[in-house]
Chains A and B, each alone.
Chain A
Amino acid sequence: MLRRLAISLLVAGAALCAARTRPHYGGTLHVEIAGDPWERPSGVARRLVFDGLTQVDASGALSSALAVSWEQDNNFHRWQFRLRQGVRFNDGTALTSTAVAASLSASCGSHCPWDAVKAVGPLVIFTNDAAMPNLPALLASDQFLIALTATADGRTAPGAIGTGPFQVTGFNNGVLSLAANENCWSGRPFADAIEIRVRRPVRDQWLDLSLGRADVVDVPAEQLRQAQQQRLSVLVSPPITLLALEVNDAGPLSNVKVRGAIAAAIDRSALYNVIFQKQGEVSASLLTQKMSGYSFLFPTERDLNKAHELRGGLTTGTLTMSADGDGAMQLAAQRIALNLREAGFNVQMAPAGVQHADLSLRRFLVSGNNPAAALERIMWDAGQSSSVSEQSAADLYRREQSILESYRIVPLVDLPVGYASGASVRDLRLRADGSPDLAGASLGEVR
């Protein structure tokens, strides 16, 4: 009896399991997104077409990409990166240190984290008067992906040409078409092609996913719960996107107390509970709790009395506020404007495209497992370039505290990034920056 039961359990167990086979090559992945595939940071097409000198792997560790090794000299004032040999751009042009230096210079113009970058044989050399302790990590960021700027005969390169696993083949009727790079240095991707339908409303994306017309679609943070209720197969990152208010310290907000009043007046809990549907975590620190371990030390509660006290009798006139991107961001900005009115500020939403608003609601990427590098990158993205050399948690806490006490950047909420995939998609993972690693995904087998 026991033996028969055991055998039937074994057979049942075997029947219940689905096989995990090796990934298959071939097929076209159909991706739909609400935004622009080239937007920064982490637009889905960027890391499909381009690579950086370094990269952050899924575990958050820094690893080699187009550079195979790097070393610093002169107490972090000079770095040299050795290029991987035999790499070619998608158009067949060889990757050289000259091409890399040109691409990096074009990426940041006169506002780069180095004074000079030059090509010497297979080496790319960076020098700076100030120390650059986190340069390898900074070079992994989206801004410093390497693109071909000029062809071998010196002409301006046409379109987006990188060294990544896919190359652009066209853009028609709102669909960006990419084809596999057969000779990609990091290995040929599994899918033969990717088609990215851009600026598609999320509701339509989900409908297409359910009908099998899309393989990978967006799931914004505020709709994660809904996606799970609809039993979509959802991939969610940790909270890696910091939603923060940038406060312009020129003009009406030059007084630090007035900026402090703005920070105290914002109701983070309302943003978290209402706008973002309790996804991610409320935050008053630049680094996430998971990254720093001390983010709870920064109080997140709204303090309207303190806001009134700090503002005193100072008047600021009408403040303008802008917000990056989509509907949820606009709603969040309107909610913040409401909070500020209760503290005696008059805030008007700036029309889209305004560059220099008094207040800007922005998203910052906070990823990797090096807190000092992540903090420096946030400061860099916020236009407050300064190197962060602190390593111990206590020193980093003090550094972050001093940054936040200027109230030029007010952290609000840490949000996750989500995508849903169809049943035929296998081994889809999110990169450290939250973008889907479509080059590592494959389409399911036919059994």
Chain B
Amino acid sequence: MRAMRLVGTVALVVCWLSGLVTSAAQTISAPSKWAQPAAELAGQIADILGPGQAQLTVRNLSTIPPSEVPGIRKQVEQGLKAHGVLAGGPESANAIRVTLSENARERLWVAEIAEGNKTRVTMVHVEAGESATVRSASERVVLRKEKIDGLVSRTDARPRDLPILAAAEINGHFVVMFTDRIAVFSSAGAGWAESNAFAMSPKMSRDPRGVLIPAADGGSFAAYAPGTQCNGSYSLPLNGENQDSGWTVRCRASDDPWPIYQSADASSGPALKAFYNTARDFFTGVVTPNIGVDLPAFYAAGMIPRAAGGAAILFAGVDGKVQIVENGTMRAVAGVRDWGSDFAVVRSGCGAGTQVIASSSGEAVSDSLRAFAIPALEALPESNALPMDGTVTALWTAQDGKSAMAVVRNGAGGYEVDRVTATCN
């Protein structure tokens, strides 16, 4: 018990210290961030008012933290001073009221300059900033997520975020399936940028899904979307041509079954295929090759290797039940009340060696992922919940078999791809 208290105290101190450091860092970095718009606004005010004295008030109607407002006020004061306008007290005949405001697209700093009965208005726009959060998890297995930067549908030519159905790293590129195309992303700085795209016309769905299977040769892939199948390959372009131009993707209308999971080793190829209901968002339950059991309609499936040899196949049914097929019989799995419709099987090497990463949300706005072991007929949680930055719309095993890939739709309707890795604690 004493040990627990000690751990708790240390954690609190660490949190407090880290908060202090973050807060100090924000305070220190604030002046440079706001210097340019503050100077611009001060210049515009001085152009209207001319040299002299004026009472300055600053109010904040924006999401700028209150702690940064004094710094901004100071910078406006300095800017005014540089133009010969001194911030005076209430006795000044003129008044400047600066409002730090914002709209849906930008921050807006507005100055109302009152000279006698006359009030004039000027304003400058300020680029909106972003904040980042860092989270961690702990227990027997630790889940970590890494955002794959740049895998977005939006470009200058395409201003809208489209759902990402699947993605895979192939031959040094990221191949991403959107609802209207298969796009190839090339490395660009710290992230990825779309370098090539191939149109695709799957049957539209309100819950679109797809799978993308890298081939064993490491240079080609097969992609499946409702009513459509595509095959892509990469060959080195001729001398002098852009390296990104070596991709070819061909699509055709198809109702062929989709590979429903990758085996642990991508080189051995997918083990099981299932027919997808193109007018809905689930698999019909008809699989090939036949596994000797009549399956209900299901959303997701995965193979769990057993320590004693052989494998079990896990299904998340449309009826909400998670069942496992092993030795020719299908049984319900307990401990899955918090599971969503999607899961991915990963070989972490921790514990029994294989975990199932499943999504859930509870009452929270955002979903979370959690690792489970299924040694028999019960799912046992093996990690803390890893909070995601929105709703998990797709989850599958990465081609290395050791990590999962998740597509997350954030509150603003944008999509991102996260690589989720399970490591031993």
A297 touches B139 (CB 8 A): no
Chain A residues whose CB sits within 8 angstroms of the CB of B321 once the complex forms: 447
The distance in angstroms between the C-alpha atoms of A439 and B207, with both chains bound, is 12
Chain A residues whose CB sits within 8 angstroms of the CB of B99 once the complex forms: 296
The distance in angstroms between the C-alpha atoms of A323 and B59, with both chains bound, is 37
The closest CB in chain B to the CB of A13 belongs to B385
A43 at the interface (CB under 8 A from B): no
Total B residues in contact with A, Cβ cutoff 8 Å: 60
B331 at the interface (CB under 8 A from A): no
B156 at the interface (CB under 8 A from A): no
A189 at the interface (CB under 8 A from B): yes
Chain B residues whose CB sits within 8 angstroms of the CB of A393 once the complex forms: 103, 106, 108, 123, 125
B335 touches A19 (CB 8 A): no
Chain A residues whose CB sits within 8 angstroms of the CB of B159 once the complex forms: 61
Contact status of A15 and B338, CB under 8 A, knowing A188-B205, A445-B320:
yes
Contact status of A21 and B204, CB under 8 A, knowing A13-B385, A294-B101, A394-B122:
no
* Residues 84-125 of B contacting A (Cβ, < 8 Å): 99, 101-108, 110, 112, 121-123, 125
A60 at the interface (CB under 8 A from B): yes
The closest CB in chain B to the CB of A288 belongs to B103
CB 8 Å contact bits of A279-294 with B (1 = contact, 0 = none): 0000000000111111
Selected from A18, A22, A292, the residue in CB contact (under 8 A) with B299 is A22
Chain A residues whose CB sits within 8 angstroms of the CB of B337 once the complex forms: 14-15, 17-19, 447
The distance in angstroms between the C-alpha atoms of A58 and B207, with both chains bound, is 16
Query: Shortest Cβ distance from A18 into chain B, in angstroms?
Result: 6
The distance in angstroms between the C-alpha atoms of A193 and B319, with both chains bound, is 20
Main secondary structure of the interface of A (DSSP, over half): loop
* Residues 54-99 of B contacting A (Cβ, < 8 Å): 61, 99
CB 8 Å contact bits of A238-281 with B (1 = contact, 0 = none): 00000000000000000000000000000000000000000000
Query: Shortest Cβ distance from A254 into chain B, in angstroms?
Result: 28
Chain B residues whose CB sits within 8 angstroms of the CB of A289 once the complex forms: 61, 101, 103
B320 touches A291 (CB 8 A): no
The distance in angstroms between the C-alpha atoms of A447 and B319, with both chains bound, is 7
* Residues 389-410 of B contacting A (Cβ, < 8 Å): 391-392
Highest count of chain A CB atoms <10 Å: which of B7, B107, B339: B339
Chain B residues whose CB sits within 8 angstroms of the CB of A352 once the complex forms: none
Query: Shortest Cβ distance from B251 into chain A, in angstroms?
Result: 16
Chain B residues whose CB sits within 8 angstroms of the CB of A292 once the complex forms: 103
Binds B, one of A179-187, A353-361, A377-385: A179-187
Query: Shortest Cβ distance from B202 into chain A, in angstroms?
Result: 10
The distance in angstroms between the C-alpha atoms of A185 and B206, with both chains bound, is 10
A21 touches B320 (CB 8 A): yes
Selected from B360, B361, B412, the residue in CB contact (under 8 A) with A59 is B412
The distance in angstroms between the C-alpha atoms of A22 and B318, with both chains bound, is 8
B103 touches A17 (CB 8 A): no
Selected from A1, A23, A60, the residue in CB contact (under 8 A) with B281 is A23
B338 touches A19 (CB 8 A): yes
Total A residues in contact with B, Cβ cutoff 8 Å: 53
Contact status of A10 and B206, CB under 8 A, knowing A371-B103, A393-B125:
no
B252 at the interface (CB under 8 A from A): no
B33 at the interface (CB under 8 A from A): no
Query: Shortest Cβ distance from A82 into chain B, in angstroms?
Result: 15
Chain B residues whose CB sits within 8 angstroms of the CB of A392 once the complex forms: 125
B281 touches A22 (CB 8 A): yes
Query: Shortest Cβ distance from A416 into chain B, in angstroms?
Result: 16
A63 at the interface (CB under 8 A from B): yes
B204 touches A186 (CB 8 A): yes
* Residues 276-332 of A contacting B (Cβ, < 8 Å): 289-294, 296-297
Chain A residues whose CB sits within 8 angstroms of the CB of B1 once the complex forms: 1
The closest CB in chain A to the CB of B161 belongs to A59
Chain A residues whose CB sits within 8 angstroms of the CB of B4 once the complex forms: 1-2, 5
B103 touches A20 (CB 8 A): no
Chain A residues whose CB sits within 8 angstroms of the CB of B362 once the complex forms: 16-18
A369 at the interface (CB under 8 A from B): yes
A25 at the interface (CB under 8 A from B): yes
Contact status of A24 and B139, CB under 8 A, knowing A182-B279, A186-B206:
no
The distance in angstroms between the C-alpha atoms of A15 and B335, with both chains bound, is 8
A57 at the interface (CB under 8 A from B): yes
CB 8 Å contact bits of B206-234 with A (1 = contact, 0 = none): 11100000000000000000000000000
B206 touches A290 (CB 8 A): no
A18 touches B101 (CB 8 A): no
A190 at the interface (CB under 8 A from B): yes
The contact sample of 13 A-B pairs, CB cut-off 8 A, is A1-B1, A1-B4, A17-B360, A19-B320, A20-B367, A23-B207, A186-B206, A187-B206, A190-B207, A293-B103, A294-B110, A369-B104, A446-B320
Q: Which 4 A-B pairs have the closest CB atoms?
A: A293-B103, A293-B108, A17-B338, A17-B362
Q: Give A contacts to B, CB under 8 Å.
A: 1-2, 5-6, 10-11, 13-25, 57-61, 63-64, 182, 184-190, 289-294, 296-297, 369, 371, 392-394, 397, 439-440, 445-447
